[in-house]
């Protein structure tokens, strides 16, 4: 089974040594809230005659989706993360990379933890995913980004294929350039076909970029907090091998359906 109903720590203890090429983890952010959404399911509706197809998938509401994103303290969150990272490190290949997706609440703590576990010289990038959506505040600059910490098991041997993105300057208009450490990729809008309704779902474009950049073709991509399975779908679609788990049975069911559809 590619998608397991299990805790990250439970799955980590079953992994073969030096088997994983890329660890991408998008753990709870410790927002202190219960994240909620409503599952979107596909229904078949007749299309107008002459459309070239007999049916058209359209979104409909399904089960209510939720998970608690609450820890007793930042120290408790950090202890939770440390235990799971330490259990997973033996499964990483010498050429493997780690992408840890966090936000302003914990990114500084998480970076110090990775420095401790791997060494500061194993740091590669502090990526900024800027997404633009969300509210504003009269008391601070609007928070419009997440942080993705990029570390290598061996800073001399890790895989990296620079992703190419559309150039924005007039001089290079219509051409591609190498991506910077600021990834300007829109969040998923409410009408997007890929939206599952699962809370905190990340866009497929973001995970495709990260997976193809940091994992070699045919490599094993591990997402131990896989949610609705975006990382796994990105891995499968780009010729990598996906492996994930989540403690939420609704998340696992959605991820399995997405992966089956991708393979189909």
Low-confidence winner among 14-18, 58-62, 238-242 (lowest mean pLDDT): 58-62
pLDDT given for residue 67 in this prediction: 83
The distance from CA 143 to its chain's CA centroid, rounded to whole angstroms, is: 19
Please return the burial class of 258, using the count of CB atoms within 10 Å of its CB with bins 0-12, 13-18 and 19+.
Answer: buried
Please return the burial class of 114, using the count of CB atoms within 10 Å of its CB with bins 0-12, 13-18 and 19+.
Answer: buried
- Would the pLDDT of 262 be above 90? no
Task: Work out the pLDDT band at 55, boundaries 50, 70, 90.
Answer: very low
More confident position, 34 or 158 = 158
More confident position, 67 or 101 = 101
Q: Residue 196 — left, alpha, or beta (φ > 0 → left; ψ -120 to 50 → alpha)?
A: alpha
Cβ contact 23:96 at 8 Å: yes
Cβ contact 197:62 at 8 Å: yes
Question: How many CB atoms lie under 10 A from the CB of residue 134?
Answer: 11
pLDDT given for residue 264 in this prediction: 57
- Would the pLDDT of 57 be above 50? no
- Would the pLDDT of 183 be above 60? yes
Please state the rounded mean pLDDT for residues 32-45. Answer: 73
Task: Work out the pLDDT band at 45, boundaries 50, 70, 90.
Answer: very low
Task: Work out the pLDDT band at 60, boundaries 50, 70, 90.
Answer: low
**Pairwise CA distance, residues 238 & 51, whole Å:** 31
Cβ contact 136:176 at 8 Å: no
Tens digits of residue pLDDT in 200-248:
999 999 999 999 999 999 999 999 999 999 999 999 999 999 999 999 9
Task: Work out the pLDDT band at 61, boundaries 50, 70, 90.
Answer: low
- Would the pLDDT of 47 be above 80? no
Please return the burial class of 132, using the count of CB atoms within 10 Å of its CB with bins 0-12, 13-18 and 19+.
Answer: exposed
Q: What is the mean pLDDT of the chain?
A: 90
Please state the rounded mean pLDDT for residues 17-27. Answer: 98
- Provide the percentage of residues in the chain whose pLDDT is more than 70: 91
**Pairwise CA distance, residues 166 & 209, whole Å:** 13
Q: What is the greatest pairwise CA distance in the chain?
A: 63
More confident position, 67 or 161 = 161
- Would the pLDDT of 65 be above 50? yes
**Which structure tokens are listed for 167?**
């150039």
pLDDT given for residue 59 in this prediction: 47
Phi, psi of 95, deg, nearest 5 = -95, 5
Cβ contact 24:92 at 8 Å: no
All structural domains of the chain = 3-263 (3.40.50.150)
pLDDT given for residue 101 in this prediction: 98
The contacts of residue 15 (CB under 8 Å, 6+ apart) are 88, 90, 91, 222
- Residue closest to 104 by CA, chosen among 119, 133, 126: 126
Question: What percent of the residues of the chain are helix, what percent strand, and what percent coil, each to the nearest 5?
Answer: 25, 30, 40
**Pairwise CA distance, residues 86 & 116, whole Å:** 11
**Which structure tokens are listed for 102?**
């966090």
**Which structure tokens are listed for 34?**
């219960």
Strand duo 164-166 + 176-178: pairing? antiparallel
Task: Work out the pLDDT band at 191, boundaries 50, 70, 90.
Answer: confident
pLDDT given for residue 53 in this prediction: 36
Tens digits of residue pLDDT in 75-131:
999 999 999 999 999 999 999 999 999 999 999 999 999 999 999 999 999 999 999
């Amino acid at each position: 089974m590619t998608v397991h109903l299990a805790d990250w720590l439970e799955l980590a203890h079953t992994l073969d040594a030096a088997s994983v090429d890329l660890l991408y983890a998008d753990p709870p952010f410790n927002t202190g809230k219960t994240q909620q959404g409503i599952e979107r399911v596909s229904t078949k509706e007749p299309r107008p005659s002459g459309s070239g197809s007999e049916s058209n998938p359209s979104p409909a509401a399904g089960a209510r989706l939720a998970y608690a994103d609450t820890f007793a303290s930042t120290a408790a969150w950090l202890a939770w993360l440390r235990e799971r990272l330490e259990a997973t490190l033996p499964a990483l290949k010498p050429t493997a990379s780690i992408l840890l997706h966090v936000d302003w609440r914990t990114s500084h703590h998480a970076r110090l933890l990775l420095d401790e576990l791997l060494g500061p010289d194993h740091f590669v990038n502090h990526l900024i995913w800027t997404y633009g959506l969300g509210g504003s505040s009269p008391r601070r600059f609007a928070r419009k980004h997440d942080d993705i910490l990029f570390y290598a098991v061996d800073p001399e041997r890790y895989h990296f294929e620079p992703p190419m993105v559309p150039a924005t300057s007039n001089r290079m208009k219509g051409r591609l350039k190498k991506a910077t450490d600021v990834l300007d990729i829109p969040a998923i809008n409410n009408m997007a076909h890929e939206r599952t309704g699962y809370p905190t779902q990340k866009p497929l474009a973001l995970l495709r970029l990260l997976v193809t950049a940091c994992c070699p073709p045919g490599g094993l991509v591990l997402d131990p907090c896989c949610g609705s399975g975006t990382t796994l779908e990105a891995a499968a679609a780009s010729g990598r091998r996906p492996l994930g788990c989540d403690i939420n049975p609704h998340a696992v069911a959605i991820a399995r359906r997405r992966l089956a559809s991708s393979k189909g």
